[in-house]
């Protein structure tokens, strides 16, 4: 199942430069907290976020749902809690167990033709 095509804008340039290198970038605050890539302010101290940090790319599934589409294979979308703390909405790919609760996952990148490399997650081997 291909992921959707995503194109960069000014706010996402650095993030997609990271995914093109195979790095999952998250927001990093001077107070030591991390935040999701799309966060604008620090969830811990409220500061404006300007710095990026490379996440380890590992995390745990918090919740998920399976999206059925009549013409396409079902897609598993999930909220993954990264080991650094931030939560990311993402797509799960590859062979997955029936019960995904607390599944350990690792980031991978899919790049549809004409779009940016997008982070997805698969079961950590
Ligand atoms: Zn902070």
Ligand 1 centre from 45 Cα, in Å?
Answer: 4
Contact present, 105 and 124 (Cβ < 8 Å): yes
Closest alpha carbon to 119 in 100, 95, 96, 91:
91
Q: Positive or negative, the Cα torsion across 55, 36, 42, 25?
A: positive
pLDDT of 122: 98
Question: Residue 85 to residues 15, 36, 98, 122: CA-CA distances in angstroms?
Answer: 18, 9, 25, 18
Ligand 1 centroid to Cα of residue 106, in Å, is: 26
The whole model's pTM is what? 0.90
Give the Å distance between the CA of 98 and the centre of ligand 1: 37
Surface-to-core class of residue 71, CB atoms within 10 Å of its CB (0-12 exposed, 13-18 middle, 19+ buried): exposed
Say how many Å lie between the CA of residue 78 and the centre of ligand 1. Answer: 26
- How many angstroms is it from 58 CA to the middle of ligand 1? 22
In this prediction, the residues of the chain whose per-residue pLDDT falls under 70 are 1-3
Can you give the residue ranges of every domain in the chain? 13-123
CA distances from 49 to 9, 36, 90, 93 (A): 17, 10, 22, 30
Q: What is the pLDDT of residue 6?
A: 84
∠ CA 79-58-52, rounded to 5°: 85
What is the Å distance from ligand 1's center to 66 Cα?
Answer: 34
């Amino acid at each position: 199942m291909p992921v959707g095509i995503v194109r960069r804008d000014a706010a996402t340039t650095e993030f997609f430069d990271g995914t093109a290198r195979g790095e999952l970038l998250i927001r990093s605050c001077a107070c030591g907290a991390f935040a999701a890539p799309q966060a604008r302010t620090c969830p811990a101290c409220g500061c404006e976020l300007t710095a990026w940090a490379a996440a380890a790319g590992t995390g745990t599934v918090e919740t998920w749902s399976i999206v059925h589409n009549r013409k396409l294979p079902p897609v598993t979308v999930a909220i993954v809690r990264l080991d650094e703390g931030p939560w990311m909405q993402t797509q799960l790919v590859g062979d997955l167990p029936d019960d995904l609760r607390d599944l350990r996952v690792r980031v991978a990148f899919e790049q549809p033709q004409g779009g940016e490399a997008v982070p997805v997650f698969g079961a950590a081997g």
